């Protein structure tokens, strides 16, 4: 794979390519995105093609300038403005009624468009240089593990992209928090890099929409299966980890990997172990999460086990990704 020429730090070149309708993978503080001019339907169509992403899964549009918000949406509820004031630039995506300039392909035909202003300096520099809104879903094949380095993008999308703008590992490591509005009231559609607690400090209690148990998901980041390794992954309880548990006995003869938040003696009886932190810090865990999952996936294990994270702060986003990685 000619990754040397594909991976670059040339922001001006990236901007030029995007203006020409090409695809550029970009570093952001959440995960690497596969960027295209959001106003160019042909470029956006290629994003779906390269990712093998179903057309019912809408894209997030990235901007560096609030003026673009006013051009892309028709109304902004007070709570959305408060959230943007508090958390933009940052890992917050707002879903708002779209204006006519947003192609239907970007929103999968939905009346609302998802918009985010990233805080990553290189991404902001690029967005300012292009001076266009950039649609950018995570730069990975649909349903697979999200990329947190330029190399991850090159490994899975390779020649499908025209350039990969490299700026090292992503600092947050999980996707943005997606917030929609019901009659002006904020509702978390996907947990992510901005915690529910942070949001509630600004706008008070918010609801969060869980996956429907059956039937179509309302918003596709809410698909029950997503962010998944190839190796089967199961979420288990601490008691399942001991070598003489019913679960472990049922896996006898199979190689088992373990994903852990912090060091534990239970890790000793596994064939491969990824420990995300030394002290259980959830920010560090999020930053390490997808890369660790990727390493477990390429080691020769038949099954990955993971314990749920504490259900608070970034633990909510991590549990959400784990649940969707189960299969
Ligand atoms: P990704 O680009 O892989 O981070 O995924 C983007 C996610 O943002 C989608 O899968 C949805 O969950 C959410 N999203 C994007 N646009 C919309 C929209 N118009 N309405 C609701 N959710 C959206
Ligand atoms: Mg994605």
Per residue in 30-65, pLDDT (tens digit) is 999 999 999 999 999 999 999 999 988 999 999 999
158-170 in b/e form (b: 16+ CB < 10 A) is eebbbbbbbbebb
- Residue 98 is given by DSSP the state B
Residue 320, token pair as written in the block = 């959400």
pLDDT at 123: 98
> Would you say the CB of residue 175 lies under 6 angstroms from ligand 1?
yes
Query: In angstroms, what is the span from residue 93 Cα to ligand 1's centroid?
Result: 9
pLDDT at 132: 98
Smallest CA-to-CA distance from 97 within 81, 116, 77, 78 is with: 77
Per residue in 101-156, pLDDT (tens digit) is 999 999 999 999 999 999 999 999 999 999 999 999 999 999 999 999 999 999 99
Smallest CA-to-CA distance from 297 within 152, 123, 132, 191 is with: 152
Query: In angstroms, what is the span from residue 270 Cα to ligand 1's centroid?
Result: 36
Task: Tell me the ligand closest to 113's alpha carbon.
Answer: 1
Look at 17-21, 25-29, 323-327 and tell me which has the smallest mean pLDDT.
323-327
User: Relative to the CA of 31, which ligand 1 atom is closest?
Assistant: 4
Report d(CA 24, CA 320) in Å as an integer. Answer: 28
Smallest CA-to-CA distance from 19 within 139, 128, 153, 138 is with: 128
Report d(CA 15, CA 8) in Å as an integer. Answer: 12
pLDDT at 210: 63
Look at 43-57, 158-172, 207-221 and tell me which has the smallest mean pLDDT.
207-221
Name the pLDDT band for 252 (thresholds 50, 70, 90): very high
pLDDT at 180: 96
> Would you say the CB of residue 30 lies under 6 angstroms from ligand 1?
no
Residue 19, token pair as written in the block = 């203006």
User: Relative to the CA of 138, which ligand 1 atom is closest?
Assistant: 3
pLDDT at 226: 78
Residue 13, token pair as written in the block = 């070149």
Query: In angstroms, what is the span from residue 157 Cα to ligand 2's centroid?
Result: 13
Q: What residue owns the CA closest to ligand 1's atom 22? A: 219
Smallest CA-to-CA distance from 218 within 56, 64, 25 is with: 56
pLDDT at 215: 42
- The domains located in the chain, with CATH, are 3-208 (3.90.870.10), 233-326 (3.40.50.11030)
Task: Tell me the ligand closest to 221's alpha carbon.
Answer: 1
> Would you say the CB of residue 51 lies under 6 angstroms from ligand 1?
no
Average pLDDT in the chain = 94
Tell which one of 34, 99, 114, 321 to mutate to probe ligand 1, the residue whose CB is within 8 A of the most ligand atoms.
Answer: 114
Rounded to the nearest 10 degrees, the angle between the axes of helix 121-130 and helix 11-19 is: 40
Query: In angstroms, what is the span from residue 283 Cα to ligand 2's centroid?
Result: 19
Report d(CA 158, CA 152) in Å as an integer. Answer: 9
Tell which one of 221, 290, 320 to mutate to probe ligand 1, the residue whose CB is within 8 A of the most ligand atoms.
Answer: 221
Half-sphere exposure of 99 (CA within 13 A, CB side): 14
Report d(CA 167, CA 144) in Å as an integer. Answer: 22
pLDDT > 70 in the chain, percent: 94
The length of the chain is 327
82 Cβ partners below 8 Å, 6+ apart?
202, 203
Q: Please list the residues that pair with 8 across neighbouring strands.
A: 165
Task: Tell me the ligand closest to 137's alpha carbon.
Answer: 1
pLDDT at 69: 98
pLDDT at 212: 45
User: Relative to the CA of 176, which ligand 1 atom is closest?
Assistant: 4
Q: Output the CA–CA distances (angstroms, integers) from residue 63 to 66, 114, 116, 135, 247, in the order listed.
A: 7, 11, 6, 9, 47
> pTM score, two decimals?
0.93
How wide is the angle at C-alpha 90 spanned by C-alphas 86 and 91, nearest 5°?
Answer: 115
Report d(CA 305, CA 294) in Å as an integer. Answer: 14
Per residue in 279-314, pLDDT (tens digit) is 999 999 999 999 999 999 999 999 999 999 999 999
Answer yes or no: is pLDDT of 218 > 70. no
């Amino acid at each position: 794979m000619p990754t040397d020429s594909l991976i670059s730090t040339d922001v001006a070149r990236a901007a030029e390519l995007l203006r020409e309708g090409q695809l550029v993978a970009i570093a952001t503080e959440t995960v690497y995105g596969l960027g295209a001019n959001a106003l160019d339907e042909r470029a956006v169509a290629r994003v779906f093609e390269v990712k093998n992403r179903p057309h019912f899964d809408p894209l997030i549009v990235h901007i560096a300038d609030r003026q673009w918000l006013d051009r892309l949406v028709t109304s902004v509820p007070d709570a959305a403005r408060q959230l943007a004031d508090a958390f933009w630039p940052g890992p917050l995506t707002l879903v708002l009624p779209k204006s006519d300039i947003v192609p239907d392909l970007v929103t999968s035909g939905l009346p609302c468009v998802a918009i985010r202003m990233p805080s990553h300096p290189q991404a902001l520099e690029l967005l300012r240089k292009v001076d266009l809104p950039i649609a950018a879903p995570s730069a990975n094949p649909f349903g697979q593990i999200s990329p947190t380095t330029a190399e991850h993008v090159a490994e899975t999308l390779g020649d499908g992209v025209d350039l990969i703008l490299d700026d090292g590992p992503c600092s947050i490591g999980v996707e943005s928090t997606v917030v929609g509005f019901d009659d002006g009231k904020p509702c978390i559609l996907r947990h992510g890099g901005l915690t529910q607690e942070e949001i509630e400090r600004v706008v008070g209690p918010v609801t969060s929409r869980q996956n429907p148990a059956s039937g179509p998901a309302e918003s596709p980041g809410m698909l029950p299966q997503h962010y998944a390794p190839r190796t089967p992954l199961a979420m288990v309880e601490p008691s399942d980890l001991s070598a003489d548990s019913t679960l472990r006995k049922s896996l006898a003869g199979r190689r088992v990997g373990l994903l852990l938040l912090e060091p534990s003696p239970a890790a000793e009886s596994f064939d491969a172990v990824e420990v995300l932190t030394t002290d259980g810090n959830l920010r560090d865990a999020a930053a390490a999460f997808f890369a660790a999952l990727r390493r477990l996936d390429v080691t020769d294990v038949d099954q990955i086990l993971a314990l749920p994270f504490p259900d608070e702060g970034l633990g909510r986003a991590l549990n959400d990704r784990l649940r969707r990685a189960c299969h």
